């Protein structure tokens, strides 16, 4: 720890005055020339509004003004530069440690002071869009951007996030992503260039979503299916995290079976929120009781599914939702579908989309299908709709 002490910084985003710190995270020195690695989400507010904020880093020796060189919002990394200081930078590891080997992480939790936390490296998360190291260690906010090191003191990753309510499960960004960032070209830090760079990265993310999710969900006949009650739908690609629940409402005589899938570790962009997320849900409702209980449950289900409606209108980030309601028929079924689309104001071509499809075409059976995607192109969303909605059917093929 003593060796690394001065190479680990507290990263602050502030708006001018010397005391006010708007955001706080950690970072570490990786070169003699003053390159500091931290998280994108630590400096996100600066990237969103560089006129309003400034960056600085702080270590045992003092405070240094910092300059943003480049960032990678998909992997949640950013590279800063400070004037060269007489501190030995941390070395980047050449390979991952063994699973189960012990590791340490450094950072500045809640700005309270430099802390060292010990943990275990558990390999990589199986689900999800981006590579994440699974770490058994209790990271805290403010430690984001700090280094994760092996026994030899080499950096193997960067602290990134914790699971809420899980006691000591944390995640790290593999060091390979830092190396890639170090090799990438820098961007200018005026507002327009930063915004263009965010747009470019979002477009790249969309491209990847399209290849890894949209194509898989929308092309050809479904090879594998998954059953939800008597419904059957195309099995989502393996990178989705899926779960089953069911619930019986005795009073209404209604049984609900739910199957939901989403993507883990989708990036969060300052102000916009989650991007590149695709969320799929299907709920089968079966009624033993009277019609009103059934309609009540179905209507409530559909109503509660709508999230885009809750979005604040004219917030300057997204357009107001544009919605279209229609009864449609697919090869297998008939639905009432309500779709809403909101376009990104600062990143042309990207949308948040939400689709709720309801069906009552079968006695005592109803289904509510939800599809939500963020930071996606119109074409991708339509392809997803075609793939998901066009393929749902009652299990016996009727």
- The binding site for other proteins (CB under 8 A) comprises 287, 289-292, 294-295, 298-299, 302-303, 306, 308-309, 313-314, 316, 318-330, 334, 336-346, 348-349, 351, 358, 360-361, 363-364, 366, 378, 381-382, 385-386, 389-390
| CA 61 to chain centroid | 36
Please say whether the dihedral angle defined by the alpha carbons of residues 374, 377, 378 and 381, taken in this order, is positive or negative.
negative
Nearer to other proteins, 265 or 381 (CB): 381
Residue 326 beta carbon to other proteins: minimum distance, rounded to whole angstroms: 5
Report the alpha-carbon distance of residue 30 to residue 90 in Å, rounded.
5
Report the alpha-carbon distance of residue 264 to residue 277 in Å, rounded.
8
Residue 285 beta carbon to other proteins: minimum distance, rounded to whole angstroms: 10
Nearer to other proteins, 102 or 330 (CB): 330
Instruction: Using CB atoms within 10 Å of the CB of residue 7, give its burial: 0 to 12 exposed, 13 to 18 middle, 19+ buried.
Output: buried
Nearer to other proteins, 125 or 320 (CB): 320
Residue 127 beta carbon to other proteins: minimum distance, rounded to whole angstroms: 29
Q: DSSP of 378-393, one letter per residue?
A: HHHHHHHHHHHHTT-E
Residue 298 beta carbon to other proteins: minimum distance, rounded to whole angstroms: 6
Residue 342 CB neighbour total at 10 angstroms: 22
How is residue 13 written in tokens?
Answer: 């985003």
Residue 361 beta carbon to other proteins: minimum distance, rounded to whole angstroms: 6
Residue 291 has φ and ψ, to the nearest 5°, of: -65, -35
Nearer to other proteins, 219 or 322 (CB): 322
Residue 389 beta carbon to other proteins: minimum distance, rounded to whole angstroms: 7
Residue 230 beta carbon to other proteins: minimum distance, rounded to whole angstroms: 15
Residue 251 CB neighbour total at 10 angstroms: 7
Residue 311 beta carbon to other proteins: minimum distance, rounded to whole angstroms: 9
Residue 272 beta carbon to other proteins: minimum distance, rounded to whole angstroms: 12
Q: Do the beta carbons of residue 268 and residue 275 sit within 8 Å?
A: yes
Non-local (6+) Cβ contacts of 158 within 8 A are 37, 38, 39, 77, 145, 146, 147, 148, 172, 173, 175, 177, 178
Nearer to other proteins, 211 or 378 (CB): 378
Report the alpha-carbon distance of residue 37 to residue 145 in Å, rounded.
7
How is residue 72 written in tokens?
Answer: 């990678």
Nearer to other proteins, 237 or 390 (CB): 390
Residue 178 beta carbon to other proteins: minimum distance, rounded to whole angstroms: 33
Nearer to other proteins, 39 or 218 (CB): 218
Nearer to other proteins, 105 or 338 (CB): 338
Nearer to other proteins, 183 or 291 (CB): 291
Q: Where are the alpha helices (H) located in 106-228, listed in sequence order?
A: 175-183, 191-209, 215-218
Nearer to other proteins, 162 or 302 (CB): 302
Q: Please state the three-class secondary structure of 65-132 as a single string.
A: EEEEEEEECCCCEEEEECCCCCCCCCCECCCCCCCCCEEEEEECHHHCCCEEEEEEEEEECCCCCCCC
Place of tokens 């985003």: 13
How is residue 243 written in tokens?
Answer: 């779960």
């Amino acid at each position: 720890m003593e060796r690394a002490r001065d190479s680990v910084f507290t990263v602050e985003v502030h708006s001018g005055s010397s005391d006010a710190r708007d955001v706080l995270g950690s970072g570490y020195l990786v070169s003699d020339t003053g390159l500091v690695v931290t998280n994108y989400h630590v400096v996100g507010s600066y990237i969103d509004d560089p006129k309003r904020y400034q960056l600085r880093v702080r270590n045992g020796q003092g405070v240094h003004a910092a300059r943003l060189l480049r960032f990678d919002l998909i992997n949640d990394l950013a590279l800063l530069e400070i004037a060269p200081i007489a501190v030995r930078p941390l070395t980047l590891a050449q390979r991952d440690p063994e699973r189960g080997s012990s590791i340490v992480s450094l950072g500045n939790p809640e700005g309270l002071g430099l802390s060292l936390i010990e943990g275990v490296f558990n390999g990589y998360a199986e689900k999800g869009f981006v590579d994440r190291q699974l770490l058994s260690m209790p990271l805290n906010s403010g430690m984001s951007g700090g280094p994760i090191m092996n026994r030899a003191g080499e950096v193997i990753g960067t602290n990134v996030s914790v699971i809420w309510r899980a006691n000591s499960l944390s995640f790290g960004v593999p060091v390979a992503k830092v190396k890639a960032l170090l090799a990438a070209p820098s961007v200018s830090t005026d507002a327009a260039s930063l915004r263009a760079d965010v747009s470019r990265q979002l477009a790249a993310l969309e491209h990847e979503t399209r290849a890894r999710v949209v194509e898989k969900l929308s092309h050809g006949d479904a090879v594998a299916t998954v059953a939800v009650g008597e419904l059957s739908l195309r099995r989502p690609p393996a990178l989705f995290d899926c779960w089953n629940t069911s619930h019986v409402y005795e009073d209404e005589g209604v049984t609900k079976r739910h199957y939901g899938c989403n993507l883990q570790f989708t990036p969060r962009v300052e102000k916009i929120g989650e991007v590149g997320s695709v969320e799929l849900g299907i709920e089968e409702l079966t009624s033993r009781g009277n019609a009103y209980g059934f309609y009540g449950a179905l209507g409530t289900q559909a109503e509660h599914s709508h999230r885009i409606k809750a979005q604040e209108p004219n917030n300057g980030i997204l357009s107001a939702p544009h919605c279209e309601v229609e009864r449609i028929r697919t090869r297998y079924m008939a639905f009432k579908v309500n779709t809403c689309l909101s376009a990104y104001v600062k990143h042309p071509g990207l949308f948040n989309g939400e689709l709720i499809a309801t069906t009552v075409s079968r006695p005592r059976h109803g289904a509510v299908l939800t599809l939500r995607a963020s930071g996606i192109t119109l074409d991708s969303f339509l392809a997803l709709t075609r793939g998901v909605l066009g393929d749902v059917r009652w299990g016996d093929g009727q």
